[in-house]
């Protein structure tokens, strides 16, 4: 489990604020892995081994494991166990429900004794309000990463609605920040909108932001940093497909490392520009 200060220390040490998204898909992994008993885990293991010194977080996307039923869940649990302890482990689950049910999701992903998994952080969707968030806060030191502004086309349907408390995603950030401090709460903010980060920072000056959309979805790392970086970095930039599927040959892990290294090198530059290194 990484505290805020430990996360910042890792970022400085590794000169990286990269999160590697493990959206592992049986149809996309190299053929030779299908000869193993657990191809998903074998893929993840090799990706983790190849990238662990270049990133500060890993984010398995729950949907990709749930697709495969019991086998998928077993792969997810093994992946969780394999994640390096000096990286933040994020389960991208996007759950959101009433209090007594959110409490169950918290156990499912935070309480290793109950479920076999004890992730450091979970992504949560805010539609149902504060009782879909507070149950997770009962787990000391764990992080809750709340959807604010996402990177897909559907984000325009509701997240930009003008409300009597600002744009909907602003209202979400403001409300959620009354529930706990920046040592427990992060927000998901999509990278397809570099300049948006300037506005987001007005509402979330200190929170870490988990940023999808760099790479496969077209966002620019430089723009994200120009408008979103803070004196403590405050960013975790996620890349999934562009790293893990850089090649589907025998060399996939080396290719993933090369892609991660490109991003880490850019990140080192950005951290220097921001005076953090």
Residues near its own copies, by CB under 8 A: 23, 61, 63-64, 66-70, 72-74, 77, 94-102, 104-105, 107-109, 111, 114-117, 125-132, 147, 150-159, 161-165, 168, 171-172, 175
- Min dist CB 233 to its own copies, Å, is 25
Nearer residue to its own copies within complex by CB, 7 or 40: 40
CA atoms of 259 and 253, how far apart (whole Å)? 10
Strands 166-167, 162-163: pairing is antiparallel
Of 39 and 72, nearer to its own copies (C-beta) is 72
Query: To the nearest whole angstrom, how small is the minimum distance from the Cβ of residue 235 to its own copies?
Result: 20
Nearer to its own copies, 114 or 138 (CB): 114
The answer to whether 201 and 230 are in contact (CB under 8 A) is: yes
Coil, helix or strand at residue 252: helix
C-alpha distances in angstroms, 122 versus 64, 142, 160, 167, 250? 15, 8, 24, 24, 32
| Closer to its own copies by Cβ: residue 2 or 147 | 147
Catalytic residue among 12, 94, 112, 175: 94
The least CB distance from residue 45 to its own copies, in Å, is 19
Q: Smallest Cα–Cα separation from 243: which of 259, 221, 266, 261?
A: 259
Tell the smallest beta-carbon distance from residue 165 to its own copies (Å). 6
* 179 alpha-carbon distance from chain centroid: 21
Active site residue 94: yes
Known catalytic residues are 94
């Amino acid at each position: 489990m990484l505290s805020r200060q430990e996360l910042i220390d890792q970022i400085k040490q590794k000169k990286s604020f990269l999160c590697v998204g493990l959206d592992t898909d049986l149809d996309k992994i190299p053929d030779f892995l299908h000869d193993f008993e657990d191809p998903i885990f074998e893929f993840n293991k090799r990706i983790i081994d190849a990238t662990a010194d270049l990133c500060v977080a890993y984010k398995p996307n729950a949907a990709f494991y749930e697709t495969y039923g019991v086998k998928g869940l077993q792969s997810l649990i093994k992946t969780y166990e394999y994640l390096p302890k000096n990286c933040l482990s994020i389960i991208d689950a996007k759950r959101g429900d009433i209090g007594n049910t959110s409490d169950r999701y918290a156990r499912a992903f935070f309480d290793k004794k109950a479920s076999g998994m004890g992730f450091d952080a979970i992504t949560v969707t805010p539609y149902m309000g504060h009782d879909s968030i507070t149950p997770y806060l009962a787990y000391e030191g764990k992080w809750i990463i709340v959807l604010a502004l996402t990177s897909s086309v559907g984000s325009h349907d509701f997240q930009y609605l003008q409300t009597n408390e600002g744009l909907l995603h602003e209202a979400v950030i403001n409300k959620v920040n009354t529930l706990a401090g920046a040592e427990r709460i992060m927000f998901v903010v999509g990278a397809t909108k570099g300049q948006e980060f300037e506005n987001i920072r007005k509402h979330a000056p200190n929170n870490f932001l988990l940023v999808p959309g760099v790479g496969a979805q077209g966002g620019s790392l430089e723009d994200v940093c120009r408008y979103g970086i803070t004196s403590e970095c405050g960013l975790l930039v996620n890349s999934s497909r562009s790293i893990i599927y850089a090649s589907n040959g025998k060399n996939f892990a080396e290719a993933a490392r090369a892609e991660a290294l490109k991003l880490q090198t850019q990140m080192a530059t950005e951290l220097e520009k921001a005076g953090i290194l």
